[in-house]
Amino acid sequence: MKNKLFFIIPLLIPSACAGDSISASSSEQKHYDKHAHVILLSGQSNAVGYSKSVYVLEKMGDEQYAKYNNGPNNTLINYYIVESDNRSMGNNFTKVQFGFGLGGDSFGPEIGMASVFGQHPDEKYYIIKFAKGGSSLSDDWLAESGQAPLYTLFVAFVKQKMDYLREKYPTTEFNIDSLCWMQGETDATGYNSAQNYKNNLVTFMNNLKNDLADYGGNNMVIIDAGISQVWSYYQTVNEAKENAGSLIDNYHYFSTIDMGLEVNKEPAGIPDSAHYDSASMIELGKKLATESLKYFK
């Protein structure tokens, strides 16, 4: 599942261009005169989103599909999916819809997240999504290893989007409120990476808080989702996540297994057991958002 990355960061960071796709009406402008919530969504393929919207249409019907595909006005997203180079245009933040996953009609947790944030229309939410399928904490995200270009790109991407928001809306307070982290499957395929996951996770999260301190990263809440049971060392990784809370400030873990999320139904007959089924992906997003909101001011 691992793919090494070799690139020059300035070539991959989109240049600034037009602003938000949702222009601010007089009522919306009020939201910009106070605090806006910024949520980071990151990790590997279940953060990317390999789930297919066609199953949402088939199983939930036209009305529900249309509702998810036309996200609320108060929740905007800028995204970058590294392995498929599926990304927002420049600094453009847009309403959440299907297609912001691996590509085509795929989607990730952002669909469920937006549906929860949309229940709070007097607040404004910006999701900054950056993820890469098959990435491991030990090889791709851990800055301490000196071989983590993905981490460097992630930090640069977040800083660029935060700078854009602060410049565009100077009367609004923009700080990162939470990081929603969905990762660990690749590390759970090997004994050593699973055994080292707790220490690596603590190092990664504390480095990230420090590197994003100018954007409120030192105070951001971390919502960490456990991985499914299809991976060889899933218990080791999930235990590492659960036990990391005492070593990382504002860190909160939840079990996707306890939630009953499923990976065994889609596609029918030959299910993709590495990735959550469409309904479960939506529930994952809802859980990430609900847990984040518990700690928002």
Render pLDDT for 165-210 as a digit per residue (tens, 0 to 9).
Answer: 999 999 999 999 999 999 999 999 999 999 999 999 999 999 999 9
Quick one: tokens of 148?
């983590």
- β strands within the chain, DSSP E: 35-43, 51-52, 75-81, 86-87, 94-95, 106-107, 125-131, 173-182, 221-225, 251-254
State pLDDT tens for residues 230-254.
999 999 999 999 999 999 999 999 9
Give me the pLDDT at residue 33, please: 63
Average pLDDT over every residue of 69-93: 95
Query: Side-chain half-sphere of 31: how many Cα atoms within 13 Å?
Result: 17
Question: What is the residue extent of each domain of the chain?
Answer: 29-293
The answer to whether residue 10 scores a pLDDT higher than 60 is no
Give me the pLDDT at residue 89, please: 85
Average pLDDT over every residue of 24-44: 73
**Total residue count of the chain as it appears in this document:** 297
Domain 29-293 has CATH 3.40.309.10: no
Q: Please tell me the distance from the alpha carbon of residue 232 to that of residue 237, in angstroms, as a whole number.
A: 10
- Using a 10 angstrom Cβ sphere, with 0-12 exposed, 13-18 middle and 19 or more buried, the burial of residue 210 is exposed
Query: Side-chain half-sphere of 290: how many Cα atoms within 13 Å?
Result: 10
Q: Please tell me the distance from the alpha carbon of residue 80 to that of residue 85, in angstroms, as a whole number.
A: 7
Angle, in degrees to the nearest 10, between helices 53-69 and 110-117: 30
CB 31 within 8 A of CB 123: yes
The answer to whether residue 5 scores a pLDDT higher than 50 is no
Continuous segment of H or E residues that includes residue 12: helix 9-12
Q: Please tell me the distance from the alpha carbon of residue 112 to that of residue 283, in angstroms, as a whole number.
A: 6
| Residue 102 DSSP label | S
CB 7 within 8 A of CB 82: no
Structure confidence at residue 124 as a pLDDT band (50, 70, 90): very high
Give me the pLDDT at residue 227, please: 98
Q: What is the share, in percent, of the chain residues with pLDDT greater than 90? A: 82
Continuous segment of H or E residues that includes residue 282: helix 278-293
